[in-house]
Amino acid sequence: MGDRDGDGIKDDVDKCPDDPEDYDDFEDEDGCPDLDNDKDGIPDERTIAPTSQGPRATTVVPSTRSTIAMATAFRMIVTSAPTIPRTSTA
């Protein structure tokens, strides 16, 4: 038994032996392409996966550098903190 449309479904079970099934997880066993899965009259387009790319996830590496910079700055502030001017009580 052949498979005229070469969709992997043999002609004896293929309801549409000349139309290859569209493997879209919708009635993929009958051998007929299901061009309108939801029967809304609008053929399903092999819609380009929406936003698989998306706006590049801003891989702003949690700025370790600026954190260090801040820490350093902070330390500097701390260390250079007002050294209580010793009023030389002499």
Residues in contact with Ca ion by CB under 5 A are 3, 5, 7, 9, 14, 21-22, 24, 26-28, 30-32, 34
Q: How far is the CB of 39 from Ca ion (least distance, A)?
A: 13
Q: Measure the CA–CA gap between 13 and 10, rounded to whole angstroms.
A: 6
Q: How far is the CB of 38 from Ca ion (least distance, A)?
A: 12
Between 37 and 67, whose beta carbon lies closer to Ca ion?
37
- DSSP code string of 45-78: P----TTSS-S--------HHHHHHHHHHHHHHH
Q: Measure the CA–CA gap between 81 and 76, rounded to whole angstroms.
A: 8
Between 2 and 68, whose beta carbon lies closer to Ca ion?
2
Between 22 and 72, whose beta carbon lies closer to Ca ion?
22
